[in-house]
Amino acid sequence: MIANQSLELNIVTEFINNLFFIFQRISWLSMLDIMLVTLIFFALLYTLKDTQAMALLRGMILLVVALILLTSLVDLPAFSWIAQNSLPALLLALPVIFAPEIRRTLERLGRAGTFVSVTSADSSLEETIHAVVSATARLSARQHGALIILQRLDNLNEFSQTGVQLNSKVTPELLLQIFYPNTPLHDGGVIIVNSQIVAASCVMPLSNSGILNRTPERQMGLRHRAALGTSENSDAIALVVSEETGAISIAHAGRMLRRLDPERLENILTAFFRPYGKEVQPSWLVKLWSSLMKRKDEK
């Protein structure tokens, strides 16, 4: 009994001495180095979160671990040679496999240092936001499905060319007519630039994210996937009205906020298109959007 206690005490003492030895060798440069590496991995995993690339990354990690274990535990010269010579090719293939995620990350970094300028008059912006909110509320009450894209800094000409060109002033009546069921323009999205409806029935990119699969309804329609995909490929604001429930959702930066009332929707749009003639830094908008998403998760 005494011998066992003495052995345990020696183990604990040795462990504490090893910890002190490690801490004594750590300097502020070492801490900075560790924090930078941690930040890189955090940013990488956060960027790949809820994307198909995360599944690819997990598969690649499992494959590499399996190859390392197999070649180290079993003497297989030919297989080991193939595995060792395949790793450089795998590293070269990484940029090709994760090309969409790398492009999206670089675009976000490029937008981080820019400013969103309000070029239209204050009254015009207020009228546009009020018209969009009014139309969205009425579409929601009637359970008419709708997808409305509001352009910000990134140009959406590539997507507006896929639809019918309108170049009309934004009014609730026009939006209600566009999204009336079984009309020629009710499918697809409406793109709004400043105070004009540039095009309707536009084909928008669908999201490959797994976020919508984890919603309470488990499956969402094409409008929600198109809204999320548009927010992933640009800094635009995407509004969705569900055809089944009439629920109002808004998507931005690859995240979706759902079950909004018209008042809250107007507050969010006013924050993104701040009609005070001042330049608004995207970092401020990101903080607002993060706080809204946090409130949503707490509910």
Do 95 and 142 lie in one domain? The reply is: no
Residue after which a domain boundary falls, among 83, 109, 135:
109
DSSP code of 205? Answer: P
pLDDT tens readout for residues 161-200: 999 999 999 999 999 999 999 898 988 999 999 889 999 9
Do 211 and 284 lie in one domain? The reply is: yes
Do 226 and 263 lie in one domain? The reply is: yes
Does some domain include residue 17? Answer: no
Does some domain include residue 13? Answer: no
With beta carbons less than 8 A apart as the criterion, state whether 266 and 132 touch.
no
Residue after which a domain boundary falls, among 109, 130, 147:
109
Do 250 and 145 lie in one domain? The reply is: yes
Residues in the chain: 299
Does some domain include residue 20? Answer: no
Do 68 and 169 lie in one domain? The reply is: no
Does some domain include residue 16? Answer: no
The first and second tokens of residue 12, run together, are 């604990």
Cα 227 to chain centroid distance, Å, stands at 11
Helix (H, G, I), strand (E, B) or coil at 192: strand
d(C-alpha 54, C-alpha 58), whole Å: 6
Does some domain include residue 290? Answer: yes
Q: What is the residue whose two structure tokens read 């790949």? A: 48
The first and second tokens of residue 140, run together, are 């929601």
Considering Cα of 137, then 148, then 110, then 104, what sign does the dihedral take?
A: positive
Do 89 and 191 lie in one domain? The reply is: no
Mean pLDDT of the chain: 77
Do 128 and 73 lie in one domain? The reply is: no
pLDDT tens readout for residues 25-44: 777 787 888 888 888 878 77
Does some domain include residue 196? Answer: yes
Does some domain include residue 18? Answer: no
Of residues 249 and 281, more confidently modeled:
249
Name the domain count of the chain.
Answer: 2
Range of the structural domain that residue 214 is part of: 122-298
Q: What is the residue whose two structure tokens read 């930066």? A: 253
Residue after which a domain boundary falls, among 55, 84, 109:
109
Do 153 and 57 lie in one domain? The reply is: no
d(C-alpha 252, C-alpha 265), whole Å: 13
Cβ neighbours of 268 (radius 10 Å): 21
What pLDDT score was predicted for residue 149?
Answer: 95
Mean pLDDT in residue range 80-99 = 74
Do 63 and 102 lie in one domain? The reply is: yes
Do 52 and 185 lie in one domain? The reply is: no
Among 184, 197, 74, which Cα is nearest to 131's?
197
pLDDT tens readout for residues 194-219: 889 999 999 998 886 666 555 554 45
Among 204, 106, 214, which Cα is nearest to 160's?
204
pLDDT tens readout for residues 251-290: 988 888 888 999 999 999 988 877 444 444 444 455 555 5
Do 278 and 159 lie in one domain? The reply is: yes
Do 161 and 205 lie in one domain? The reply is: yes
d(C-alpha 85, C-alpha 107), whole Å: 34
Does some domain include residue 11? Answer: no
